[in-house]
Chains A and B, each alone.
Chain A
Amino acid sequence: DADVTQTPRNRITKTGKRIMLECSQTKGHDRMYWYRQDPGLGLRLIYYSFDVKDINKGEISDGYSVSRQAQAKFSLSLESAIPNQTALYFCATSDSFGERDGYTFGSGTRLTVV
């Protein structure tokens, strides 16, 4: 299922480096989301966007920024990576209400900050 594609799939970076995680979709969905998954903490919302000109902070936006370059592209940046940002990052998309077919998740980016 290549409807939501995340790159890279895995990344190891050093503390203090800037890193960008990219997400693109062919679902034609308006809404896009970034979540991080940590063991025992579930999926936590970082940022979400309902259209190209709309960006909203989620539960844990500190230390992250996003860019919605086009309807199909939503990137997540870590301005200065720190070890506690080591996690599995998921991009997701949905239709206008996010309820007809649920969220479609990408395959995830496993980020390690050393």
Chain B
Amino acid sequence: GENVEQHPSTLSVQEGDSAVIKCTYSDSASNYFPWYKQELGKRPQLIIDIRSNVGEKKDQRIAVTLNKTAKHFSLHITETQPEDSAVYFCAAKKQAGTALIFGKGTTLSVSS
């Protein structure tokens, strides 16, 4: 089955800096890669996703890149703000017939 590794487990940055979280996956058949954000005491929520037919996707200050050959994908947050502080989870799955497998999460702390 799929296995998703996520690094780093914790990340501390200053407000305005960039943050990068990296994930690798094991199943070359996986073709959908979402990122979820979980604020303290809240439920995880989808913030961005990418499919295997594209290499990069951006949404304002957030971007995700995908390298299918190396089987890794990354989340990039620019101009970080204190409200970006949360746990971020990457995940992967095949298009049909399976469920999302999540990484172990990255706790991002943005200090002002």
Binding-face segment, A18-26, A64-72, A95-103: A95-103
A102 to B104, CA, bound (A): 18
Is the beta-carbon distance between A103 and B100 smaller than 8 angstroms? yes
Is the beta-carbon distance between A102 and B46 smaller than 8 angstroms? yes
Is the beta-carbon distance between B43 and A59 smaller than 8 angstroms? no
A64 to B84, CA, bound (A): 35
Does any Cβ of B come within 8 Å of A44's Cβ? Answer: yes
A102 to B45, CA, bound (A): 8
Chain B residues whose CB sits within 8 angstroms of the CB of A40 once the complex forms = 9, 104-105
Is the beta-carbon distance between A105 and B43 smaller than 8 angstroms? yes
Is the beta-carbon distance between B102 and A42 smaller than 8 angstroms? yes
A90 to B99, CA, bound (A): 14
A41 to B104, CA, bound (A): 5
Is the beta-carbon distance between B43 and A108 smaller than 8 angstroms? yes
Closest to A32 in B: B99
Is the beta-carbon distance between A48 and B99 smaller than 8 angstroms? yes
Does any Cβ of B come within 8 Å of A58's Cβ? Answer: yes
Does any Cβ of B come within 8 Å of A74's Cβ? Answer: no
A21 to B1, CA, bound (A): 26
Is the beta-carbon distance between B9 and A101 smaller than 8 angstroms? no
Is the beta-carbon distance between B104 and A45 smaller than 8 angstroms? no
Contact of A45 among B43, B46, B99 (CB under 8 A): B99
Closest to A50 in B: B97
Does any Cβ of A come within 8 Å of B96's Cβ? Answer: yes
How far is the CB of B105 from the nearest CB of chain A, in Å? Answer: 5
CB<8 Å pairs between A and B, sample of 11:
A31-B99, A33-B99, A35-B102, A40-B104, A45-B102, A97-B95, A98-B100, A99-B95, A102-B34, A102-B36, A102-B45
10 interchain residue pairs of minimum CB distance: A102-B46, A42-B104, A105-B43, A43-B102, A48-B99, A42-B105, A42-B102, A105-B44, A99-B32, A45-B99
